[in-house]
């Protein structure tokens, strides 16, 4: 790769030919502000926040799209540049609904941060925002266009997912983001993945909150409240409290939840293990009896809804297993209630999840309505802060029994490839004894598509892992055309899997654009897996007790009735 030499603010910099000024500045640790730019999602230079002066250019240029050249000199903080950026911020603020104190992005808003940095006068151009109706019909995502800054990052994120249900409408001053024919988001083919939310730099998009309902249940003397936390939460919650990306805060997380009130806290990693018990047996059954192959994983509700809208012909290929969230709620409202003499209607079940699509999932009629509330990592962080818990200094605590200790296989569910690896660990032992490896590293990593061939039980099976729905579409089209032949396919709607879900903590642009969040968060899960007492789902004591005392056997009549589900074709808009 040829290199070019340039100077940025007088500092000599070497950059790859064809790279942008913004990329070159990042290598030199020189910060250039951005608003519309988001690495791997969008680079269009429309917001004009990254304008710089560069030799050979006429006027100011957008650093995120302007290429470097040999001998170029770039200036990022001249009076002309600063004046331009300040004016840009003030113009944006003139049409922005400035309810900053009550905004979900308050103190973590990119526009707020830029306004402070450039000493912007929010009233310089007056206040002329149009009060627009809030679209809150979706179970998962709320849109407030009065706060939209027209960066179009949400549009790019949705297109990146190959869903594309939102886009610019109208022209000029009347331009806004919306869905075709002014449909509410809930009436489109939106899969509720929430990638638009994490892409939005302000508070124009956010999850539909269940926090008030959960607080109400906690103080209701007629209710017994139980929380359970998804595998990836432990690796991301700390970021909301200033911990470095990739910190495992499981003990503090459990302790903080228990300080919210008289609640119990269980470990959803256990029903990740339970999912594997059912899913591995289902895979084996399909392979042995000539069932529908390839079998696709079904624990990601964003992917399931995507299939229902866009590939209904593949619904027989989806595993019939419910997600770990829905398995846990079903077990709690039946087995746990029976064992503890609790009326199911008096048990209030709260799942803590990385995913806005889980909010839609709990409303699916075919799942039985066992989950009362699903709150995101962000919502849990808000509750902890509202309760006045000193998260950084709280002593660690352990999950409540009998749903406390899980296997490392359940832990890695939160990373792309983790469900596949967990299933292969158990399936290989069910078919071929203990001689198979524990770790299947070929399907780890944050690449969009991973493939491998394994010898399982004396036979070879080809597997694939896709994360991000754009990559999922590629894999599906290759399968449909006959180009690829797999026995088992894992798909996660969000790039990187659950660790990068739409409900995870907001991350500053300069961090998101320079740090591999997906890899760092996943590494915390793999490290816990390595140190786990149990490495395979079928070894988890709580799971074995469940079968012995209640479910009888995997794929049995009781297990099938409680832990499996159906799917149906949905219209595509």
> What CA–CA distance (Å, rounded) separates 340 from 257?
22
Cis peptide before 563 (omega within 30 of 0): no
Find the catalytic residue in 278, 279, 379, 539: 279
Find the catalytic residue in 100, 355, 498, 536: 498
Dihedral of CA 177/181/182/183: which sign? negative
- Token code pair at residue 530: 């390595």
- Token code pair at residue 380: 């849990």
Dihedral Cα 474, 477, 481, 482, nearest 10 deg: 60
Burial of 10 (0-12, 13-18, 19+ CB in 10 A): exposed
> What CA–CA distance (Å, rounded) separates 307 from 318?
9
> What CA–CA distance (Å, rounded) separates 89 from 494?
31
CB-based contacts of 272: which residues, under 8 Å, 6+ apart? Answer: 231, 299, 324, 406, 409, 410, 411, 413, 422, 537
Find the catalytic residue in 366, 386, 477, 549: 366
- Token code pair at residue 306: 């995507």
Q: Note if 361 is an active site residue.
A: yes
- Token code pair at residue 232: 């990836």
- Token code pair at residue 344: 């199911």
Q: Note if 319 is an active site residue.
A: yes
CA-angle at 93, arms to 89 and 99, nearest 5°: 135
Find the catalytic residue in 26, 239, 250, 282: 282
> Dmax over Cα atoms in the chain, in whole Å?
78
Q: Note if 299 is an active site residue.
A: yes
Scan for tokens 């797999």, then name that residue.
Answer: 486
29 backbone φψ class: left, alpha, beta (φ>0; ψ -120 to 50): left
Q: Note if 358 is an active site residue.
A: yes
Helices and strands, counts by H and E, the chain: 20, 17
Q: State the CB neighbour count (10 A cutoff) for residue 520.
A: 17
Cis peptide before 294 (omega within 30 of 0): yes
Q: If you write DSSP's letter for every residue of 323-380 in order, what string do you get? A: PHHHHHHHHIIIIIHHHHT--GGGEEEEEEES-THHHHHTT-GGGTT---EEEEHHHH
Angle between helices 79-94 and 110-117 (to 10 degrees): 130
Distances in Å between the alpha carbon of 29 and those of 12, 25, 47, 110, 415?
Answer: 12, 6, 22, 19, 30
Q: In terms of residues, how long is the chain?
A: 573
Find the catalytic residue in 299, 321, 355, 494: 299
- Cβ atoms 402, 339 nearer than 8 A: no
Find the catalytic residue in 110, 239, 361, 379: 361
Report the run of H or E that residue 491 belongs to, with start and end. Answer: strand 488-492
Q: Note if 539 is an active site residue.
A: no
User: C-alpha 442: how far from its chain's center?
Assistant: 23
Find the catalytic residue in 179, 319, 323, 351: 319
> What CA–CA distance (Å, rounded) separates 489 from 313?
16
Q: Note if 326 is an active site residue.
A: no
CA-angle at 196, arms to 106 and 527, nearest 5°: 85
Strands 295-296 and 488-492: parallel
Residues catalogued as catalytic: 279, 282, 299, 319, 358, 361, 366, 498
């Amino acid at each position: 790769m040829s290199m070019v030499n340039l100077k940025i603010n007088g500092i000599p910099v070497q950059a790859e030919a064809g790279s942008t000024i913004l990329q070159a500045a990042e290598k030199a640790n020189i910060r250039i502000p951005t608003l519309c730019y988001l690495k791997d999602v969008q680079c269009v230079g429309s917001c004009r926040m990254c304008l710089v002066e560069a030799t050979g250019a006429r006027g100011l240029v957008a650093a995120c799209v302007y290429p470097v050249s040999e001998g170029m000199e770039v200036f990022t903080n001249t009076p002309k540049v600063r004046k331009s950026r300040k004016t840009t911020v003030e113009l944006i603020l003139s049409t922005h609904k400035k309810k900053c104190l009550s905004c979900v992005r308050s103190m973590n808003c990119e526009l707020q941060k830029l306004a402070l940095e450039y000493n912007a006068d929010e009233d310089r151009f007056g206040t002329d925002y149009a009060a627009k109706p809030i679209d809150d019909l979706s179970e998962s995502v709320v849109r407030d266009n009065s706060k939209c800054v027209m960066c179009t990052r949400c549009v790019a994120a949705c297109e990146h997912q190959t869903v594309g249900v939102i886009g610019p409408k109208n022209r000029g001053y009347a331009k806004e983001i919306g869905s075709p024919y002014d449909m509410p988001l809930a009436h489109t083919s939106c899969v509720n993945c929430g990638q638009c939310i994490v892409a939005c730099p302000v508070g124009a998009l956010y999850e539909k909150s269940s926090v008030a309902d959960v607080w109400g249940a906690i103080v209701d003397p007629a209710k017994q409240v139980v929380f359970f936390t998804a595998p990836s939460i432990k690796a991301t919650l700390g970021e909301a409290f200033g911990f470095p990306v990739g910190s495992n805060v499981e003990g503090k997380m459990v302790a903080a939840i228990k300080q919210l009130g008289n609640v119990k806290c269980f470990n959803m990693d256990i029903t990740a293990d339970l999912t594997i018990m059912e899913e591995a047996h289902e895979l084996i059954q399909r392979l042995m009896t000539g069932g529908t192959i390839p079998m696709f994983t079904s624990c990601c509700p964003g992917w399931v809804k995507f299939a229902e809208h866009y590939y209904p012909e593949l619904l027989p290929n989806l595993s019939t297993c419910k997600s770990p969230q829905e398995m846990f709620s079903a077990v709690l409202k039946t087995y746990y209630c029976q064992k503890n003499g609790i009326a199911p209607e008096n048990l209030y079940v709260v799942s803590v999840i990385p995913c806005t699509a889980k909010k839609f999932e709990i409303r699916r009629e075919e799942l039985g309505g066992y989950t009362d509330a699903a709150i995101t990592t962000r919502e849990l962080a808000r509750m902890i802060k509202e309760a006045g818990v000193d998260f950084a200094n709280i002593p660690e605590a352990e999950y409540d029994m009998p749903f406390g200790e899980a296997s490392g296989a359940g832990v890695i569910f939160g990373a792309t490839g983790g469900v596949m690896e967990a299933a292969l660990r158990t399936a290989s032992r069910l078919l071929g004894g203990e001689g198979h490896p524990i770790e299947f590293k070929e399907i780890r990593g944050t690449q969009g598509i991973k493939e491998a061939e394994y010898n399982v039980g004396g036979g070879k099976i080809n597997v694939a892992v896709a994360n991000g729905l754009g990559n999922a579409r590629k894999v599906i089209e290759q399968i449909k055309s006959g180009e690829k032949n797999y026995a088992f396919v894992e798909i996660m709607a969000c790039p990187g899997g659950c660790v990068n879900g739409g409900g995870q903590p907001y991350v500053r642009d300069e961090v998101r654009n320079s740090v591999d969040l997906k890899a760092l968060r996943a590494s915390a899960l793999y490290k816990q897996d390595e140190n786990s007492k149990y490495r395979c789902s079928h070894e988890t004591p709580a799971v074995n007790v469940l079968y012995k005392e209640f479910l009888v056997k995997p794929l049995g009549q009781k297990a099938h009735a409680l832990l499996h589900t159906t799917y149906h074709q949905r219209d595509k808009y």
